[in-house]
Chain A
Amino acid sequence: MSFQELIANLQYDTVDVSLSLFRPELAICATIVVMLLARLPRIRIDAFYVALVGSAVALWFAAPWRYLAAGATEAAGPQEIFTGMLIFDGLTVYFRSVLLLFAVLFIVMTRLSGIPDREDGADFYTLILGGTLGMCIMASANHLFTVFLGVEMASVPSYALAGMLKGRRQASEAALKYSVYGAGAAGVMLYGISLLGGALGSVHIPTMVTQLASMPAEALAERQTVLMLGGLMTMVGLAFKLSAVPFHFWCPDVFEGASAEVNAFLSVASKAAALALLLRVAIGFGHLPQQPAVENHVPPAAQAAVTAAQATLVSDAPYSAQEKANDDGLSPTRDYMVGIIALIAAITCTFGNLAAYAQTNIKRLFAYSTIAHAGYMMMPVAAAVALLGRDPPMAEKCVAALAFYVGVYLFMNLAAFAIIAFLRNAMRSEQIADYAGLVRHSPGLVVCFSIILISLIGLPFFSGFIAKYWAFYVLVPAQLIWLLVVGGLNTALSLFYYLRVIKTMTMDPEPADRLPVDFSMISAEGVYVALVSLPIVVLGLWPDPLMRWVDAACRQLVN
């Protein structure tokens, strides 16, 4: 291929294919620029409005209602964009939409809760949107460079956000801890990536996996240690983002030090992106890409021919394709990944639930709750990898379980942290003990909070139950019954500390030394809490619409 052709291909790939699918991210970039300009003394627009409009426009471009409507993804199909750096498929659309929806709701929440103040607004929203941009890249990463890039783009703003409350020692300490930890994890991850890249000759995930599958046994044996070490080190970076045990130490301190708003961002957006990334890596390494992996994009005609050929191949012989998949030389890789992910999931979940017992600060409690939920959410990932070779449709169902969980988790944790933030404003306290007897002051708020907590335990009729049920459901066909038992017992364990908060709010007498609580449901804050809690109930009673979306999002994930 001559240089000219290369440029032509690149231009075609970037301008004609990739950029139009990258519009949400571009919208965020534009918003950030506008926000920086809006600070000029002459213009002086409130950054809140810019951020809100910008993220809403980005959400509009992400358009899950268009891509995930019935029959839509079949037409689109997975597409590698930017010369294979990113991938665009239903899952990209879904996770991007979740992240951007969260951004919109989150920006509204920060306005109501008053952090950041007007002066900090532009900085705060720039960091938030910058982080969201990184998370969108994490969710669509197809190349270990973009994996690393996304992780760093998401992490660096988070470090600054954690220290956003200036003048609070705890916040500064949290930010420092977070960034030192993060830098360490990033270094290890980068080393892991370089090991993997060195052993397999590429860092483009589909190319790597093709290499891995076609590697002769003796070559594989020779490089086994390097590969395993590289995989493990890459996992360190992911586990740090997921706050999975044993890389969770930053989480409670950061959550306690940072404001409740930032906690919401870290516990929802950051977690969703980290899970999406885990999926990308795990699924990417777990199965062979159908089309011959090429780093450079083929012009449309050739690609169409390839796709058509694939389509006939798949429709003619679904079973033979499946059987072939059984023997694709990747089962050792899969077993290795299932082992690691399942083990980390079980430990993370159990540790989070046990450590949450002793907490007296609601933010720390939620930090451990977040850790525990990361464990629950990793379970379907393990199941998905385990099923990739055996039963691809079921593996897609596993991914769908995770996607559903993330969607529900967004509302649960956003609403919870919104309540924590509003209560902090109302009574200047984040101690669980100060929530005592709150039901007498604002029963509506306590009902909403109780719904959230019960949904987090996973009891019907709330959506947390459906999400958890689905995550457990897929463990059975994946033959991970032990993980199911661990998850089930953890549900019983988690009962105590969630219920303790409800008990404190409803049954305990009010403490004498608490400031008077000044919160009414008939206010913007109250309405916001009610509106964000509503989906928790609605999706519990009628989960079908979201289920259809996540099913559509995962339909073409595995060939």
Chain B
Amino acid sequence: MESELLLSLIVFLPALAALVLMLPLFSNQRPDAIRLLSLAATVAVFLLTVWMALDRPAGSDASTRFQVGEASMQDTFARDWIPSFNIYYFMGVDGISFTLVLLTSFVTMLSMGASWNITKHVKAYCILFLLLETGMLGVFLALDFFLFYVFWEVMLLPMYFLIGVWGGPRREYAAIKFFLFTLVGSVLMLIAILMLYFNSDLGRLSRDQLQASRVPNSVVQQVEQGGTEPIHTFNLLALAQMGQLPDSPFDKELWLGHSLQWWAFILLFIGFAIKVPVVPVHTWLPDAHVEAPTPISMILAGILLKMGGYGIIRICYPICPDAGYDLAYVVAGIGVLSMVYGAFAAMSQKDFKRLVAYSSVSHMGYVILGIGVWTAWAGTDYNSDYWSMGMNGAMFQMIAHGISSAGMFFLVGVIYDRVHHRNLDEFGGLFAKMPVYSGLAFGIFFAGLGLPGLCGFIGEVFVTLSVWTYSQALAVISASVVILTAGYILWTLQRVYLGPEYKGPHEDGIYPITPREIAIAAPLLAFAILFGVYPSAVFRYMTPSINKTVGDLATWTKEVKQPRIEAERSSEMELAQKP
């Protein structure tokens, strides 16, 4: 299959299905037809991504399947979209985005399966759900900054309605809060996008760099013909190349003594950090999670939060490395703050879902920490291995958290469907009543806890280890968060599943887990175990690309940043020596 067709199909198949669902043929009188068609669309997307993940048959290099071991972008294609603004329909995958695409299609499929007990306005629900999937996949596949932004915004509306119409009692408040937080973030991002765009110039790149950035040939020719006018671009790969030039066009001073890229980094980072979310801009998350219906919570925790991390890895650091280097400690500090705050907040919750939501804040803190640890220099030696380890850990943590948090939210939803409350103090004794469910829950909560042998462990260990060479204080704090995590998860398990008897209302409503529910929880647990004992299943796809990203930045640190720092230092020394 052509890569253009394949990637477009992956992104737009759900939207097409949504269009089909809009036909009057489907009515709310026969909800199962609507659900089955939506499920079929999500399954089809999942199968397409799985097909891509399969190894290429030997000897066929024309295949569009994902090539394991290739670090750069694959399956790229670009088409004119809005030529007046140099905006392209430009997509592609590398290891970083591909694993997240797989996660997205997988979790979306499962949460569609979990949507069977949505009975209100099924048609509208399914249409919005499918549009949401298009937006999410588009964000991970877009390589044009404008296209990325468009998909990023496209997700907001379906999410708003899905929380606001199908959510819990305070759904409207939660929905608008989610919308407003994210919109503020994306407006800041838009400002940064425009600043970067107007200071970009493809003419600064060499022919090789242009080709590596997959700039279309017509534009390459235009660049080579030269001219005094700069050629602006939204191409994320080209912007990254420019950001890492020794005399980057983004280095010029903008305001208050800081460079353009410093401000762009701040704006972009706030935009992404809101999505992650990190403390102190996390407050939308507990509300949104608590009010959202179960399948939407799964998507929110499993995928939407990953977009923030993805944006930081793909956009913030490569395009604004100078600011990234200078602000590394701030970023890492924010990560640690989120970890600690999230863990303590989780511990004090009375609401089961709110607890899981705060655990997400805490776990996503590892991601920020792992990304932020800029240890291209270990002592006096040049060595980027630890940073690369942290980045790999952060990416792995995103995948692992996608699996475990989606599972945790689903399991909370299962018990909520039966007893219609989430008050942690009113559970207990569920093990006796629902043994299979409790077994699955133990597995998935342990995965969230980071028990060795389950997926949560790998990411946490990688991140914590990598921090040691950067800052021992942060390493000690982040390692001790593991104790807090264990504390709140074990305490939760004890209060909910153990104990002699169930203490809350609706006791007679409790029935064993259904096969449909098992079919959703079991794959999540299976992957949690698989990734725990065989992490290479994930690393084989993403490590080459992560190492390349880190390698490029490390080279930049060595060749550009270090001389710059030394020059600054010596000029300061001179100043100091003058009487």
Additional pairs, 9, CB under 8 Å, beyond known A469-B190, A499-B179:
A454-B157, A459-B156, A461-B154, A477-B198, A481-B195, A489-B184, A491-B187, A496-B176, A503-B164
Q: Do B179 and A495 touch across chains, with their CB atoms under 8 A apart?
A: yes
Where chain B touches its partner, the secondary structure class is helix
Residue of A460, A488, A544, A551 touching B150 (CB-CB under 8 A): A460
A469: which B residues are within 8 A, CB to CB? 190
Residue of B157, B180, B197, B198 touching A459 (CB-CB under 8 A): B157
How distant is the Cα of A503 from the Cα of B167 in the complex, in angstroms? 13
- Measured between C-beta atoms, what is the minimum distance from B393 to chain A in Å? 34
- Measured between C-beta atoms, what is the minimum distance from B170 to chain A in Å? 12
List B104-138 residues whose CB lies under 8 Å from chain A.
124
How distant is the Cα of A495 from the Cα of B181 in the complex, in angstroms? 11
A433: which B residues are within 8 A, CB to CB? none
Task: Name 25 interchain pairs, CB-CB below 8 A, sorted by A.
Answer: A443-B124, A460-B149, A460-B150, A460-B153, A460-B154, A461-B150, A465-B153, A469-B190, A472-B190, A473-B85, A476-B197, A484-B194, A488-B187, A491-B183, A491-B187, A492-B187, A495-B180, A495-B183, A496-B176, A506-B161, A506-B165, A507-B172, A544-B83, A547-B84, A548-B84
Q: Do A492 and B183 touch across chains, with their CB atoms under 8 A apart?
A: yes
Provided the pairs A495-B179, A499-B160 are in contact, do residues A547 and B82 lie with their beta carbons within 8 angstroms?
Answer: yes
B164: which A residues are within 8 A, CB to CB? 503, 506-507
Q: Do B190 and A499 touch across chains, with their CB atoms under 8 A apart?
A: no
B191: which A residues are within 8 A, CB to CB? 481, 484-485, 488
Residue of A nearest to B183 (CB): A492
A157: which B residues are within 8 A, CB to CB? none
B179: which A residues are within 8 A, CB to CB? 495, 499
Interface string of A132-166 (1 = CB under 8 A from B): 00000000000000000000000000000000000
List A444-485 residues whose CB lies under 8 Å from chain B.
454, 459-461, 465-466, 469-470, 472-473, 475-477, 481, 484-485
> At the interface, yes or no: B47 with Cβ under 8 Å from chain A?
no
List A511-557 residues whose CB lies under 8 Å from chain B.
543-544, 547-548, 551
B157: which A residues are within 8 A, CB to CB? 454, 459
- Measured between C-beta atoms, what is the minimum distance from B182 to chain A in Å? 10
Q: Do A544 and B84 touch across chains, with their CB atoms under 8 A apart?
A: yes
A495: which B residues are within 8 A, CB to CB? 176, 179-180, 183
Q: Do B190 and A488 touch across chains, with their CB atoms under 8 A apart?
A: yes
> At the interface, yes or no: B419 with Cβ under 8 Å from chain A?
no
> At the interface, yes or no: B245 with Cβ under 8 Å from chain A?
no
List B136-154 residues whose CB lies under 8 Å from chain A.
149-150, 153-154
In the A-B complex, the 7 residue pairs with the smallest Cβ-Cβ separation, listed nearest first, are A488-B187, A460-B150, A476-B198, A476-B194, A547-B84, A492-B184, A460-B153
Q: Do A459 and B195 touch across chains, with their CB atoms under 8 A apart?
A: no
B183: which A residues are within 8 A, CB to CB? 491-492, 495
List B78-117 residues whose CB lies under 8 Å from chain A.
82-85
Interface string of A433-444 (1 = CB under 8 A from B): 000000000010
How distant is the Cα of A477 from the Cα of B199 in the complex, in angstroms? 9
Residue of B nearest to A404 (CB): B84
Q: Do A466 and B82 touch across chains, with their CB atoms under 8 A apart?
A: yes
> At the interface, yes or no: B188 with Cβ under 8 Å from chain A?
yes
Number of interface residues of A (CB under 8 A): 32
Where chain A touches its partner, the secondary structure class is helix
- Measured between C-beta atoms, what is the minimum distance from A546 to chain B in Å? 10
B171: which A residues are within 8 A, CB to CB? 507
A473: which B residues are within 8 A, CB to CB? 85, 194
Residue of A459, A484, A499, A548 touching B153 (CB-CB under 8 A): A459
How distant is the Cα of A499 from the Cα of B163 in the complex, in angstroms? 14
Residue of B nearest to A468 (CB): B190
Interface residues on B, range: 20 to 34
Q: Do B172 and A503 touch across chains, with their CB atoms under 8 A apart?
A: yes
Residue of B nearest to A485 (CB): B191
- Measured between C-beta atoms, what is the minimum distance from A97 to chain B in Å? 19
Q: Do B180 and A492 touch across chains, with their CB atoms under 8 A apart?
A: yes
Residue of B nearest to A469 (CB): B190
Residue of A nearest to B83 (CB): A544
How distant is the Cα of A551 from the Cα of B191 in the complex, in angstroms? 24
How distant is the Cα of A476 from the Cα of B199 in the complex, in angstroms? 10
- Measured between C-beta atoms, what is the minimum distance from A273 to chain B in Å? 25
How distant is the Cα of A443 from the Cα of B191 in the complex, in angstroms? 36
B172: which A residues are within 8 A, CB to CB? 503, 507
Q: Do B187 and A496 touch across chains, with their CB atoms under 8 A apart?
A: no
Q: Do A499 and B176 touch across chains, with their CB atoms under 8 A apart?
A: yes
A506: which B residues are within 8 A, CB to CB? 161, 164-165
- Measured between C-beta atoms, what is the minimum distance from A67 to chain B in Å? 19
How distant is the Cα of A489 from the Cα of B267 in the complex, in angstroms? 13
- Measured between C-beta atoms, what is the minimum distance from A222 to chain B in Å? 38
- Measured between C-beta atoms, what is the minimum distance from B54 to chain A in Å? 33
How distant is the Cα of A555 from the Cα of B569 in the complex, in angstroms? 51
Residue of A nearest to B84 (CB): A547
- Measured between C-beta atoms, what is the minimum distance from B187 to chain A in Å? 4
How distant is the Cα of A476 from the Cα of B197 in the complex, in angstroms? 10
Residue of B nearest to A484 (CB): B191
How distant is the Cα of A475 from the Cα of B154 in the complex, in angstroms? 24
How distant is the Cα of A473 from the Cα of B187 in the complex, in angstroms? 12
How distant is the Cα of A506 from the Cα of B158 in the complex, in angstroms? 13
How distant is the Cα of A374 from the Cα of B171 in the complex, in angstroms? 33
- Measured between C-beta atoms, what is the minimum distance from B213 to chain A in Å? 22
How distant is the Cα of A277 from the Cα of B80 in the complex, in angstroms? 34
Residue of B nearest to A459 (CB): B153
A472: which B residues are within 8 A, CB to CB? 190, 194
Provided the pairs A459-B157, A465-B153, A507-B165 are in contact, do residues A488 and B188 lie with their beta carbons within 8 angstroms?
Answer: yes
B165: which A residues are within 8 A, CB to CB? 506-507
A496: which B residues are within 8 A, CB to CB? 176, 180
A548: which B residues are within 8 A, CB to CB? 84
Interface string of B393-415 (1 = CB under 8 A from A): 00000000000000000000000
- Measured between C-beta atoms, what is the minimum distance from A235 to chain B in Å? 28
Interface string of B175-209 (1 = CB under 8 A from A): 01001100110011011001101100000000000
How distant is the Cα of A477 from the Cα of B187 in the complex, in angstroms? 18
How distant is the Cα of A356 from the Cα of B84 in the complex, in angstroms? 34
- Measured between C-beta atoms, what is the minimum distance from B24 to chain A in Å? 10
Among B82, B84, B179, B197: residue with most chain A CB under 10 A: B84
- Measured between C-beta atoms, what is the minimum distance from A210 to chain B in Å? 30
Residue of B nearest to A319 (CB): B228
- Measured between C-beta atoms, what is the minimum distance from A375 to chain B in Å? 16
- Measured between C-beta atoms, what is the minimum distance from A492 to chain B in Å? 5
List B257-305 residues whose CB lies under 8 Å from chain A.
none
- Measured between C-beta atoms, what is the minimum distance from B132 to chain A in Å? 14
A459: which B residues are within 8 A, CB to CB? 153-154, 156-157
How distant is the Cα of A499 from the Cα of B157 in the complex, in angstroms? 10
Interface string of A416-435 (1 = CB under 8 A from B): 00000000000000000000
B85: which A residues are within 8 A, CB to CB? 470, 473
How distant is the Cα of A443 from the Cα of B188 in the complex, in angstroms? 34
B190: which A residues are within 8 A, CB to CB? 469, 472, 488
Residue of A nearest to B161 (CB): A506
Interface string of B48-92 (1 = CB under 8 A from A): 000000000000000000000000000000000011110000000
A465: which B residues are within 8 A, CB to CB? 150, 153
Interface string of B27-51 (1 = CB under 8 A from A): 0000000000000000000000000
How distant is the Cα of A507 from the Cα of B124 in the complex, in angstroms? 12
How distant is the Cα of A544 from the Cα of B84 in the complex, in angstroms? 8
How distant is the Cα of A544 from the Cα of B190 in the complex, in angstroms? 21
Q: Do A489 and B187 touch across chains, with their CB atoms under 8 A apart?
A: yes
B176: which A residues are within 8 A, CB to CB? 495-496, 499, 503
- Measured between C-beta atoms, what is the minimum distance from A329 to chain B in Å? 26
- Measured between C-beta atoms, what is the minimum distance from A447 to chain B in Å? 9
Among B85, B149, B164, B195: residue with most chain A CB under 10 A: B85
A507: which B residues are within 8 A, CB to CB? 164-165, 171-172
Among B85, B154, B184, B187: residue with most chain A CB under 10 A: B187
B153: which A residues are within 8 A, CB to CB? 459-460, 465
- Measured between C-beta atoms, what is the minimum distance from A451 to chain B in Å? 10
